[in-house]
Amino acid sequence: MSKILIIDDEEPILNMYGEALGGHEVMFANNGEVGLDMALKQDPDLILLDIIMPKFNGLDVLDKLKSDKDTASIPVMILSNLPKEASADKARELGAAGYFVKAEFEPDKLATTVNRLLREGEIDPSY
């Protein structure tokens, strides 16, 4: 069982994705500051990260995660309602493993993608 940290400020999103990833140990953070702290303390195998959040936005969190030797190797998938055109290139530059628009990405597809990433270490690079 893998440890997955979901960092998102919307409780329904946390619950929906947490349920979809039921075969894993899922942890939740409702803002970027708490998420960074949990990433350091819990050493997750994967982080699902929203962009628009209080405290730190997701791109700031991603930058801090990838700049810290203790968290740099954790794969981070961006899950946002912002269109790819708005932030995908910046997320890729900062080291995101993928960028997915929530409204276009059903929970079962998320679970399949997460399982593939955890199993094979990669996802479709065309995000």
Give the residue extent of every domain in the chain.
11-101
CA distance 36 to 58: 10
Q: Is 11-101 assigned to CATH 3.40.50.2300?
A: yes
Measured between alpha carbons, how far is residue 110 from residues 8, 71, 103 in Å? 15, 22, 12
Q: For each of the chain's 127 residues, which pLDDT tens digit applies?
A: 899 999 999 999 889 999 999 889 999 999 999 999 999 999 999 999 999 998 889 999 999 999 999 999 999 999 998 888 888 999 999 999 989 898 887 888 888 888 888 887 766 544 4
Half-sphere exposure of 77 (CA within 13 A, CB side): 28
CA distance 8 to 24: 18
pLDDT at site 122: 63
pTM of the model: 0.91
pLDDT at site 127: 46
pLDDT at site 9: 94
